[in-house]
Chain A
Amino acid sequence: MNLPATPADLIPFLFAVITSHTFIQIILFPGFIHVTLVTAFLTWYERKIIARIQLRIGPLYAGGPGGILQPIADGVKLIFKEVMIPYKADKPLFLAIPLALVVMAALPFAVIPFGQNWVIANLDVGLVFVFAMISLFPLMILIFAWASNSKYPFLGGLRSLFQQVAYEIPMWISALSIVMLAGSLSLVDIVNAQARIWFIIPAFLSFIVFFISVMAELERLPFDLPTAEPELVAGWFTESSGAIFMLQFLALYMKMYLMSSLVTVLFLGGWWGPAFLPQPVWFIIKTLIVATFIIIPRAVFARIRVDMLIRIGWTRLLIVALVNVFLTVLLITSGLTAILGM
């Protein structure tokens, strides 16, 4: 389908877009409704898991089995609350950045393959696209913190940008060995290369590095320095309330779902699984298992300091990731990958 050449072609073009298979995918399954539903589920799931670890019951009274309608109650509450804007804040930025955060968290879902044909856009640079989008996150957080013109958010935003220095390079280098094994940057090709053997087996070191970097990227405990409650009240969203807080919360949990699915794509074989379940179901099961392992440390570990985080990032994670790159070079040149059928 070509872009419209004249204004008269615009109406048929838009009609063709809206009735296309891709547009239905954008709205329904790998698209918006699915992403928001799973994100809402994740907020309930996290509270429930942490409650179980701490011997509490967790959300219960909002309806459904185990209070599963709690996210709807939260959303209705937040959407009717007053939006408070600090009087010294930069209003346009303060309102625009939460929306930008949601868009930035949702855009990479276009390239995540939930099944052989369940992908919105099979970009040939999909992995770089995902990394580019999530690299913008700390910058957006700093802009929001600067716009709110308050001390605690500003410190949190600076910490968020600084944390990126610690985790980003190890994350890229550990994904590099996957790119070498698959020989492609397209996420569909990367999953197709794992039809026989998942990449967690030949690249186990890089799985560990990538998972820890993802924890730091999502600002989960033990790496939640930008939102450290005892030191910075609520970190970079101290000043946000009502709908602004809801959008930020949505963006954070959407990013958690995104990074869990990225771990599934890169290391856990994506949609591959026994044939008695459809491909997207396998993908979502694996993603929820990864998300569970991302959630559990919040109830278990204590927060680490800034200097400890940056030291871990540069002296442990980066070295291990580089070692894994050399191991991958040896693995490919020795012909072991050909024997394993990769």
Chain B
Amino acid sequence: MALNPWLTVIIWAIVVIALTGPMLTLPMFWSRRKPDPFRDMPFESGQVPQGEARHRLVMQYYPYLLMFVAFDVVGMFLFAWGMSFTKIPLYASFPVLLFLFLLAAPLGYALHLALRRENW
């Protein structure tokens, strides 16, 4: 009698939620809860908080983010290839290896651009 592995994962998730949920909900009942405007302030090193916390920031390291988007997808496809590498004939792997070699050229150029500090 064996459970379906995915069903087992779901049961495991339910068990974890059932056993760690009380750690969060029970203190709500017994811990002292007395609203205090000064204690409930966001922490800003003892000062009164100023301005919005969710402010806009400068977008930095943009070339790396672009490369990440490309390589994220490439990484997943490479997993599908790597798993079946020993099972498929070698000539079927040549296009992937060629693709990896071709990838090295734009990667090198992108790193060259990204390493120039004025191009962040």
Contacts and interface: CB of A to CB of B under 8 A. Distances in A.
Nearest to B26: A79
A245 to B, nearest CB: 11
Interface in A161-220: 162, 165-166, 168-169, 172-173, 176-177, 179-180, 183-185
Given A32-B19, A103-B17, A150-B53, A22 B31 contact: no
B86 A180 contact: yes
Contacts of A122: 5
Interface residues of B, number: 66
Given A1-B1, A121-B12, A150-B43, A179 B24 contact: no
Interface string A206-245: 0000000000000000000000000001000011001110
Give chain A's interface residue range (CB within 8 Å of chain B).
35 or more
Interface in A53-84: 79-84
Contacts of B16: 32, 102-103, 106-107
Contacts of A9: none
B3 A1 contact: yes
Interface stretch (A23-31, A263-271, A275-283): A23-31
Where chain A touches its partner, the secondary structure class is helix
A6 interface: no
Nearest to A80: B31
Interface in B99-113: 100, 104, 107, 111
A107 B87 contact: no
Interface stretch (A41-49, A85-93, A293-301): A85-93
Contacts of A244: 24
Contacts of B111: 314-315
A288 interface: no
Nearest to A105: B16
Contacts of A124: 5
Given A32-B19, A102-B20, A150-B49, A83 B83 contact: no
Contact of B15 (A31, A123, A184): A31
A136 interface: no
B23 A87 contact: no
A340 to B, nearest CB: 14
B95 interface: no
A158 B39 CA distance: 25
A183 B83 contact: yes
Given A79-B27, A107-B16, A151-B53, A238 B43 contact: yes
A81 B30 CA distance: 9
B83 A247 contact: no
Given A81-B31, A165-B64, A310-B61, A22 B3 contact: yes
B105 to A, nearest CB: 13
A333 B6 CA distance: 35
Interface of B: 1-9, 11-13, 15-17, 19-21, 23-24, 26-28, 30-33, 37, 39-45, 49, 53-55, 57, 61, 64-65, 67-68, 71-72, 75-76, 78-79, 82-87, 90, 93, 97, 100, 104, 107, 111, 114-115
21 contacts: A1-B2, A22-B8, A26-B15, A79-B26, A83-B31, A83-B33, A86-B40, A88-B53, A106-B16, A111-B9, A162-B61, A168-B68, A176-B75, A176-B82, A179-B83, A183-B84, A183-B87, A242-B27, A243-B31, A325-B78, A332-B85
Given A172-B76, A247-B24, 6 more contacts: A85-B40, A103-B16, A183-B84, A233-B43, A307-B61, A310-B61
Interface of A: 1, 3, 16-17, 20, 22-23, 26-27, 31-32, 79-88, 95, 98-99, 102-103, 106-107, 109-111, 120-124, 128-129, 146, 148-152, 154, 158, 162, 165-166, 168-169, 172-173, 176-177, 179-180, 183-185, 233, 238-239, 242-244, 246-247, 250, 306-307, 310-311, 314-315, 318, 322, 325-326, 329, 332-333
